[in-house]
Structures are given as C-alpha cells and as structure tokens.
Amino acid sequence: MSVLNVSRLKVSYPSRDGVFDVVRGLSFELDEADSLGIAGESGSGKSQTALAIMGLLPDNARVSGSIRLDGQELLGESEQDLDRLRGKSLAMVFQDPLSALNPYMTVGRQIGEVLELHQGMSAKEAARRSCELLQMTGIDEPGRRSKAYPHQFSGGQRQRILIAMALACGPRLLIADEPTTALDVTVQKKILELLRSLCQEIGTALILISHDLAVLSGMCRNLMIMYAGMEMERGLSEQVLLQATHPYTAALLRTLEDLHGGAGPLSVIPGEPPDMRNPPGGCPFHPRCTEVMPHCSEVIPRPRPVKRIAGAQSQWVACHLEPEQ
Amino acid sequence: MSWIEPVFTFTLKRLLSAVPTLLLVVAATFFLIRIAPGGPFDSERNLAPDIRANIERSYHLDEPLLQQFGRYLGGVARGDFGPSYHYRDRDVSDLIAESFPVSFKLGMTAFFLALLGGVTAGVLAALRRNSFRDHALMSLAMSGISIPNFVLAPLLVLLFAVHLQWLPAGGWRGLGSVVLPAFTLALPQAAYIARLTRASLLDILGSDFLRTARAKGLSRSQAVWRHAMKPTLLPVISYLGPATAALLTGSVVIEQIFQIPGLGRYFVTGALNRDYTLVMGVVIFYGSLIIFMNLLVDLLYAWLDPRTHRKQ
C-alpha cells in the first residue's frame, strides 16, 4: 500500500511573458515507511514538488495532476482539511533551521503547539510531551532547554528541534528539503542519521531532497533524479548509482567521482541549466547531452521501465537512448 | 525574579545618562531665547527707565547671563521653575500643573487613536497585499502624512462644526470637543504607524518561520495571530518614543488652532511674550517626558524580544 501517490503533477506560474512550468508532469509512488531521495540542480523543481505536496505553494501557483496521501486526493482539498493534515499526517523540515523557528517563542511552546492543535492535548500535557520529543532528538536537559528561545541553540540543535516538531504527531510522510545544507559538515551526518532512525522507528515515509547524490544514496532506498521539472531517472538507489542509464545521471555521477577521486581537473556538465521561462523542446537535457540524437529535440521522452528485480519494477528512465543489451 | 536586577540597573543608567541630555537642552533653550530680540517687559507701554530697571533687577535680569543661568539651574535642581514673567503672581510650576492635564487628555486620546488606527490599517493592508483595500488604505496614509495639521484642522472644522454642526469648532468643554483636535493630532502618526505595520507584517508573512507555522497545520489566520503579531509590532513599539515627541510638538499647534487651554498654548504665548521662565519650564517638562517615554519603550521592547535578554 503506497502512502503517497503523485501522478502527472504540474506546477506553473503565470508571468508577464506567459505561463511557465516549474514541475512538468511528475509521477511517483512511495510505500509505507519507505524512503525516496530527490536529487537535482537548483531550479529543477525539487522544492516546488515538496511544497505542492504540502499544499504550501504561493497563491499564484497553478497545480494540476494528482497527489494522494493514503488514497486521499490532496489537490482541490479545502484549506481547512489540509490544515488538519499538515503537521499531523504530513510534515516538513525546511532548509534553514536558523530562520525556520519563531525567534519570539520558546521552543517548548513551538513543539507543544502542534500537539495541542492535532492531538487535543492541554498546555501542560503538551509541554511534558515536548520535553520527551526534545530528549528523543538528542537535546540534553530538555526540561530546562524547552523554556529557551531559538537563538540560544546551535544550528544543529535547532534542526533537531524542527525534526522533533515535525515528528511530534507521528506523521505518515515527512518531507525534508535540504535539511543539512545550512549546517556544518560535521553536524550533517548526525542530523541525517537521526532523521533516518526516527522515521524508521515511527514508520514514517521519508522524502529527502538534496543536490548531494552521495547523501541521498546513503539515506534513501529509492532515488529520483530531476531535471527542469521532470523525472530523468528513478529506481532503487544502488541500481541508479551503479547502473545509471540516463546520460544526465551518468554525468552527475562523474562529477561526484571527481570530487572524491584524486588529481586532475573536476569534470563538469557543459552548458547551463535551462531557463524555465523558455525550456528547450523535446528532452530538456538534450542541449547538454553527450549522446544527443536528432529526435531528442523534438519528442519529450516519457519515463519507461528498464529493470525488474524479483518481479517488481525497480528502475525507470526518461531517455530515447536504448539501453545496451 | 532574576529580571528585576538588570531592569533596575538599566533604568538607573538611562536616568543618569538623561541628566547631561536635559542639561544640554536647558542650556540651548536658555541662550537661544535670550538671543531672540526683545525682552519680557517690552510690551508694557511707556515704562519709565528707572521703573523698568527696577523690575528687571527684581527678576535678576540685570545680572550677567552666565550668573542668571547658574541661578536658574540652581532653582531647577530644587524643583523651582521660578515665577512667570507674564502671568503675574503665578509660578511656572502652577501653570504647568494647571494646564498639563488638558494636554495629557488630548495627547493620550491621540496616542491610542494613532496606535489602534495605525496598527489596524497596517494589518488590514498587509493581509490583502496589492488589493483595492491595500491601495486605498495606503493612499489615505500617504495623505495623512502629507497634509499639514494646520490645513487639515480648518477643513475638519468647516465640515463637522460649521456645515454638519456635529462637533464644536474649538474650546474645551465636554467629550465632543476632544474629537476633532485628537483626530487631527493623531492622523499623521496613525498614517506613519500604518505604513510601518504594513511593511513589518509583509516582511514577517514572507518569513521562514511563518511557513513552518503553516506546515504545522495552523490556518493562515492562526499563524498570523500566534506567530506574526509580536514581531510585527516590535518596530511599531520602538517608534512610540519618537511618536510621543511628534504628538507633543503637534499639540502646540493643535491647541492653538482649537483654542484648547493646554500646555502647548502656554508654550506659544510664552515664546511670543518672551516669558523666559515659562518657556524654559515647558521645555524641561516636555524634554523629561520624552526621555521617560523612550525609556519606557526600550524596557517594553526588551521585555518582548527574548534576544535582548541576558543569557542565564
């Protein structure tokens, strides 16, 4: 049974030069307690996808397609019904823990607020439970610290607090949008470990968004590579990494190997990410692709299955190139 | 009560640092008004020179300026603002005590009018950014800031007192007589506060922590009330010090226009009559009031913003 079912998701914004699409027909599923990493360059539509699932896109965004949580359609749902789901079944951890907490409210209150809202706890019960949650996320002396304000915590601690807040009601799905980008490298790993172990403990499905393939592959069972608002490749993490089928994935992996490999110039993907106001026709990656064929600029490739493991579909790729036999 | 000690120290420091400020204000006023041509007894007709010299001697006006200044400071230190030169047999302290309650009532009405009206308008405008409501409120605010009170006051009098006859055109009798002067006095401040509130709330509405609040499942209005109001009001609160100063300055003109027997009118007539002691008294009184208000505002701000608290 899949927790999340996204199909043909499209997000677009009207502008003076016409409507431009930032997410262009995205489809994927996520099983209960499973994990999916979404990778892509800035502007590839990762965060827009996350906000669309949360129903927190700006007012002028136009969304179409379907987003189902436990079978319930979220698109077109009333704000009141979405408010009932957000924080309870659907939770999100944002990129910058320094600005994501209200600086004028004690962290205990900020966590307690979710519990009062969704679980009908009294202020006293909520305060006690927030201490437990702080303890669970590794904040020492939670009783005393819950009465402190965000500026009295380090960046890593603040992200722990935000994780405690997001997991307070045991959500079905947690979306973490670059949760460690703003943090020290030394803290990143600990936060990611915490995120993974807590999600497993609670049985929460996790979507982790990052531009760091290495982080994603270590954290998530599944991986999706996005480019220009579209899915390029998706599958089990190890398969995508070891048997990358899409030229874009392969190019990304080469840049990664160079970072961890020794001498020599860093390999880069030539060209620039597409301008979403005027994306290239056909496959959006074709102007930068080394394997480009004539019809790549004309026909948009749809994701097609390439591999099966134990009878289940395990890898999809959106490319005209035939896999080597 | 761990907060009492730092608050006490802070207040004491601020009060001590207010002394040189006030001294500077007193000195500037003292010498400036004496540079102004004429003297307190020039309007009296045909005073014989020896009588005039006699009067001036009795008020110590024949002494060297610095000696007069020292004498005045000595008096002020003892809480004595001296006798008025114009209103015979009246002490400046009496005049202030008598007229200040009137100005206080007018000022406080205007203060709360400006605060309530300004914040409400600012919040309403920000919540519907770029709507008709937003544009209408902000145009109104712009006019409120641009139209001088001596233009607005006669227009309001013409409409509400002369044509509609709902409210008195001036004087100080009954509640009705407070409405027009308080409104005129409050309008520019309300307008400024509205613009401040709007900008501040728009800033907060776009902040990450408000998005977190929405992600927790708070509705838009819940998120605004619980998470946005306090940070929105902080810049407004820090403006309340300067707002008080502006209201005091404005009241000088307003009281003149509406013929209100307040302190502002004494200040104007005092300056015109070269009533040195009266002008000095009012300046010191208003100066202290502004310093006190600023202190109050800073304490309030520190109390509201946890980031200014000392680490425990």
Can you list the positions of beta strands (E) in A119-236? 173-177, 205-210, 222-227, 230-236
* Percentage helix, strand, coil for chain A under 3-state DSSP, each rounded to 5: 35, 25, 40
| Residue A48 distance to chain B (closest CA, Å) | 14
What is Dmax (Cα atoms) for chain A? 67
Spacing of C-alpha B108 from chain mean position:
9
Which two three-digit tokens encode residue B160? 């509400």
Q: Which of residues 210-229 of B touch A (CB under 8 A)?
A: 211-220, 226-227
In this complex, which of B216, B220, B226 lies closest to A87 when CB atoms are compared? B216
Q: Which 3-state string (H, E, C) describes A222-255?
A: EEEEEECCEEEEEEEHHHHHHCCCCHHHHHHHHH
Q: According to the model, what pLDDT value does residue A302 have?
A: 87
| Residue B304 distance to chain A (closest CA, Å) | 8
Q: According to the model, what pLDDT value does residue A202 have?
A: 92
- Long-range contacts from B54-60, C-beta under 8 angstroms, 24+ separation: B59/B83, B59/B85
Probe site for chain A from B202, B216, B220, B301 (most A CB atoms < 10 A): B216
Q: For residue A164, which phi and psi values (nearest 5 degrees)? A: -60, -40
Contact between chains at B208 and A96 (C-beta distance less than 8 A): yes
Per-residue pLDDT tens over the stretch B168-218: 888 888 888 888 999 999 999 999 999 999 999 999 999 999 999 999 999
Q: How far apart are CA B236 and CA B224, in angstroms?
A: 17
> Given CB atoms, is A154 within the 8 Å cutoff of chain B?
no
> Given CB atoms, is A88 within the 8 Å cutoff of chain B?
yes
Q: Tell me the chain B residues in contact with residue A84 when contact means C-beta distances shorter than 8 Å.
A: 217
In this complex, which of A83, A96, A102 lies closest to B227 when CB atoms are compared? A102
| Residue B15 distance to chain A (closest CA, Å) | 28
State the pLDDT confidence band at A322, using cuts at 50, 70 and 90.
Answer: confident
Contact between chains at B218 and A113 (C-beta distance less than 8 A): yes
Q: How far apart are CA A141 and CA A126, in angstroms?
A: 17
Check residues A47 and B46 and name the one with the higher pLDDT.
A47
State the pLDDT confidence band at A263, using cuts at 50, 70 and 90.
Answer: low
Q: According to the model, what pLDDT value does residue B312 have?
A: 42
Positive or negative: CA dihedral A13, A18, A22, A25 = positive
CA distances from B69 to A272, B26, B35, B61, B78 (A): 76, 9, 14, 10, 14
Q: According to the model, what pLDDT value does residue B232 have?
A: 95
Does the pLDDT value for residue A325 go beyond 60? no
Q: According to the model, what pLDDT value does residue A261 have?
A: 64
Query: Which CATH fold topology does B96-308 show?
Result: MetI-like fold (1.10.3720)
Residues A77-88 have a mean pLDDT of 93
In this complex, which of A79, A96, A114 lies closest to B216 when CB atoms are compared? A114
Taking CA–CA distances from A148, the nearest residue in chain B reads B306
User: Residue ranges of the domains in chain B?
Assistant: 96-308
Per-residue pLDDT tens over the stretch B44-103: 667 778 887 888 887 788 888 888 888 888 888 888 888 888 887 888 888 898 889 999
In this complex, which of A83, A151, A152 lies closest to B217 when CB atoms are compared? A83
- A vs B: CB pairs below 8 A: 71
User: Residue ranges of the domains in chain A?
Assistant: 250-325
In this complex, which of B209, B213, B215 lies closest to A99 when CB atoms are compared? B209
Taking CA–CA distances from B301, the nearest residue in chain A reads A104
pTM: 0.85
Contact between chains at B214 and A86 (C-beta distance less than 8 A): yes
Q: Is A73 helix (H, G, I), strand (E, B) or coil?
A: strand
Q: Are strands A173-177 and A18-31 parallel, antiparallel or unpaired?
A: unpaired
Q: How far apart are CA B184 and CA B169, in angstroms?
A: 13
CA distances from A114 to A50, A300, B229 (A): 20, 43, 19
Residues A232-247 have a mean pLDDT of 89
Contact between chains at B211 and A100 (C-beta distance less than 8 A): yes
> Given CB atoms, is B311 within the 8 Å cutoff of chain A?
yes
Residues B1-12 have a mean pLDDT of 81
Probe site for chain B from A47, A77, A83, A207 (most B CB atoms < 10 A): A83
Which secondary structure element, helix H or strand E, spans residue A27, and what is its range? strand A18-31
> Given CB atoms, is B206 within the 8 Å cutoff of chain A?
no
Does the pLDDT value for residue B26 go beyond 70? yes
Q: According to the model, what pLDDT value does residue B71 have?
A: 87
- Range scoring the smallest mean pLDDT among A78-92, A101-115, B46-60: B46-60
**Which of B38, B92, B82, B80 shows the shortest CA–CA distance to B59?**
B82
| Residue A55 distance to chain B (closest CA, Å) | 9
Q: According to the model, what pLDDT value does residue B61 have?
A: 80
Residue A65 contacts residue A52 (beta carbons within 8 Å): no
> What's B244's DSSP letter?
H
State the first-to-last Cα distance of chain A, in angstroms, to the nearest integer. 33
> Given CB atoms, is B148 within the 8 Å cutoff of chain A?
no
Q: Which of residues 226-255 of B touch A (CB under 8 A)?
A: 226-227, 230-231
Per-residue pLDDT tens over the stretch B261-285: 989 888 988 888 888 889 999 999 9
Does the pLDDT value for residue B249 go beyond 80? yes
Q: How far apart are CA A317 and CA A254, in angstroms?
A: 18
Query: Cβ neighbours of residue A183 under 8 Å, at least 6 residues apart?
Result: A97, A155, A156, A159, A191
Q: Is A25 helix (H, G, I), strand (E, B) or coil?
A: strand
Residues B148-154 have a mean pLDDT of 90
Q: How far apart are CA A256 and CA A261, in angstroms?
A: 8
Residue A176 contacts residue A121 (beta carbons within 8 Å): no
CA distances from B32 to B6, B121, B254 (A): 39, 41, 24
Contact between chains at A113 and B230 (C-beta distance less than 8 A): no
Which two three-digit tokens encode residue B29? 């006023």
Does the pLDDT value for residue A52 go beyond 90? yes
CA distances from B196 to A14, B46, B200 (A): 30, 56, 6
| Residue B117 distance to chain A (closest CA, Å) | 25
Burial code (b: 16+ CB inside 10 Å, e: under 16) for B155-190 equals: ebbeebbeeeeebbbbebeeeebbbbbbbbbbbbbb
Which secondary structure element, helix H or strand E, spans residue A29, and what is its range? strand A18-31
Q: Tell me the chain B residues in contact with residue A149 when contact means C-beta distances shorter than 8 Å.
A: 306-307, 309
Q: How far apart are CA A224 and CA B94, in angstroms?
A: 82
> What's A71's DSSP letter?
T
Contact between chains at B217 and A86 (C-beta distance less than 8 A): yes
> Given CB atoms, is A96 within the 8 Å cutoff of chain B?
yes
Q: Side chain identity at A255, as an amino acid letter?
A: T
Q: For residue A15, which phi and psi values (nearest 5 degrees)? A: -140, 180
> Given CB atoms, is A152 within the 8 Å cutoff of chain B?
yes
Contact between chains at B212 and A85 (C-beta distance less than 8 A): no
Q: How far apart are CA A254 and CA A241, in angstroms?
A: 11
Q: How far apart are CA B264 and CA B269, in angstroms?
A: 9
Q: According to the model, what pLDDT value does residue B44 have?
A: 62
Average pLDDT, chain A: 89
Q: How far apart are CA A307 and CA B43, in angstroms?
A: 107
